[in-house]
Amino acid sequence: MPKSENKINSMDYRAVMGLWPTGVSVVSGLDTEGEHLGMVIGSFTSVSIEPALVAFCPQKSSVTWQKMKENKNLCINFLSDRQSDICWKFASGELYGRFESLDYTKNSNDIAEIPDCSAWLDVTIDNIVDGGDHDIVVCRINALRKGSINLPMAFSKGQLCSTQPITNLPIDHLDQWEQSIHSIYQ
Ligand SMILES: Cc1cc2nc3c(=O)[nH]c(=O)nc-3n(C[C@H](O)[C@H](O)[C@H](O)COP(=O)(O)O)c2cc1C
C-alpha cells in the first residue's frame, strides 16, 4: 500500500480513540529546582506484575514533562469522580500554579501526593521509549496504596465520566479479586 493511503487523519484518530475510555491520573514530580509540577494523564496503563511496572505517554512537547523527567521520581495520582476541578487545573492551569490552594502531602521522595485520590503510586522512571510525538515512559513501582472509596474517574468521548458497574458480579468473586490483589502486593 502506498504510504499516502496509510495516512490517518488526526481528527479521525481522535474521534476513534475517544471511544476507548481511559482512567484519569495526575502524574506529579519535581523540576531540577525542586518545584512541584503535575499534568493530567489518560494514557496510563499497568504493564507488568513481576517486576511491578506501569507506563504512561506524555506528549514530547509538554513543558511539564520536559521539566519533570530529569528527576526520575514521580507519583501517579489516580483521580476519583469527585475531582474534576483538579483534573481541569492540572490539564490547563498555569505550569507552576497547579498545586496552589491544594493541601497536598509528600511521599518519601518529596513528590506531591494529591489528597482524596483513589490511589497513589510512588514510581521511578525505568525506561523511556520513542512513541512518535509522545514518549512511552515505563516506570518501576516503589510503593502503592489505595485511598478514597469514591469511584475512579474515567475519560470517554471527550468527557469526564464516573465508572458505574454494568453487571453485578457475585460478592465472592469480588472478595477473591481483592485477596489476589493483596497477595501480590503484601
Ligand atoms: C482527560 C485528559 C487526559 C490527558 N491525557 C494526556 C496524556 O496521556 N498525555 C499527554 O501528554 N497529555 C494528556 N492530557 C493533556 C495534558 O494534561 C495537558 O496538555 C498538560 O497538562 C499540559 O501541560 P503542559 O503545560 O506542560 O503542556 C490529557 C488531558 C486530559 C483532560
The residue ranges of every structural domain in the chain are 3-185
Residue 30 vs residue 181, higher pLDDT: 30
Q: What pLDDT, in 10s, does the model give residues 39-61?
A: 999 999 999 999 999 999 999 99
Residue 84 vs residue 166, higher pLDDT: 84
DSSP letter for each residue of 48-60: ETTTTEEEE--BT
Contact (Cβ atoms closer than 8 angstroms) between residue 147 and residue 117: yes
Q: What is the mean pLDDT of residues 119-124?
A: 98
The pLDDT of residue 141 is above 50? yes
The pLDDT value recorded for residue 186 is 46
Cell of 43: 494514557
DSSP category for residue 82: T
- In CATH, the number for domain 3-185 is 2.30.110.10
- Name which residue sits closest to atom 22 of ligand 1, judged by CA: 91
| Cα separation, 120 vs 114, whole angstroms | 8
**Which residues are 73's β-sheet partners?**
124
pLDDT over 90 percentage in the chain: 83
The pLDDT value recorded for residue 165 is 87
The pLDDT value recorded for residue 1 is 44
- Name which residue sits closest to atom 10 of ligand 1, judged by CA: 58
> Distance from the CA of 31 to the center of ligand 1, in angstroms?
17
| Cα separation, 77 vs 63, whole angstroms | 19
What phi and psi, each to the nearest 5 degrees, are found at residue 73? Answer: -90, 135
> Distance from the CA of 134 to the center of ligand 1, in angstroms?
11
* Cβ burial, residue 161 (10 Å; 0-12/13-18/19+): middle
The pLDDT of residue 175 is above 80? no
Average pLDDT, the chain: 92
pTM equals 0.91
Confidence of residue 65 (pLDDT cuts 50, 70, 90): very high
- Name which residue sits closest to atom 27 of ligand 1, judged by CA: 62
> Distance from the CA of 80 to the center of ligand 1, in angstroms?
17
